[in-house]
Chains A and B, each alone.
Chain A
Amino acid sequence: DGGITQSPKYLFRKEGQNVTLSCEQNLNHDAMYWYRQDPGQGLRLIYYSQIVNDFQKGDIAEGYSVSREKKESFPLTVTSAQKNPTAFYLCASRNPGRGVEELFFGEGSRLTVL
């Protein structure tokens, strides 16, 4: 079945460590996104990519980095520069085109900094 796979589902990190969250999609979608979800704050956009080898900062990109070397993959690295990394991270994808509005989400990765 087509969909978005995020891994790991749960991740624990010590302060000062970088971690990378994986996001893979087999929907053949051009655009991919990373959102951060915190209680009572909704979802905030970290980075997005509309095509391979190109990506744009969202509203809260500081302390994060991404790459888009393949259409199917959009990994997110949470660096030690991110001051408050404990959160639920959601990856999404979309096929841009007239009338195609829907974002498809993965099941999320919960990162906890110890």
Chain B
Amino acid sequence: GDSVTQMEGPVTLSEEACLTINCTYTATGYPSLFWYVQYPGEGLQLLLKATKADDKGSNKGFEATYRKETTSFHLEKGSVQVSDSAVYFCALRYFGNEKLTFGTGTRLTIIP
């Protein structure tokens, strides 16, 4: 079946460091790909998405590119802030399918 694999955390970085959180997927077709973020004590929020190959999603300085050839959707940010500390989830969903398949999440902590 379809699945999403994220790099294991936790990840701890200093402020202004570069961030990459790896995400790869296994899918039989061409799903839409998402990154959701969960701040402490809250539900999930959509961070960015890409709906087809080579699309780049971006928001709040974060970027991710839908790479069909490597089945990847890595999350990147050039300079992280303390406020970026959260758990990040990679997910996929097929158009017309109600199910959103999540990765296990990666906890990110940014230290001043």
Contact = CB atoms under 8 A, between A and B. Distances in A.
Interface string A46-61: 0010100000101100
A42 interface: yes
Q: Which of A31, A43, A45 has the most CB of B within 10 A?
A: A43
- Size class of the A contact interface (CB-based, 8 Å): 20 to 34
Nearest to A90: B43
A56 B99 CA distance: 11
A105 interface: yes
A45 B99 contact: yes
A90 B41 CA distance: 12
- Size class of the B contact interface (CB-based, 8 Å): 20 to 34
A106 interface: yes
A6 B100 CA distance: 20
Given A101-B49, A103-B46, A40 B104 contact: yes
Contacts of A105: 43-45
A103 B32 CA distance: 13
20 contacts: A6-B43, A33-B100, A42-B105, A43-B44, A45-B99, A45-B100, A48-B98, A48-B99, A59-B99, A101-B32, A101-B34, A101-B51, A103-B36, A103-B46, A103-B100, A105-B44, A106-B43, A107-B41, A107-B42, A107-B43
Given A33-B100, A42-B103, A43-B100, 14 more contacts: A40-B104, A43-B89, A43-B102, A45-B100, A48-B99, A56-B98, A92-B44, A99-B51, A101-B32, A101-B34, A101-B49, A103-B46, A107-B43, A108-B42
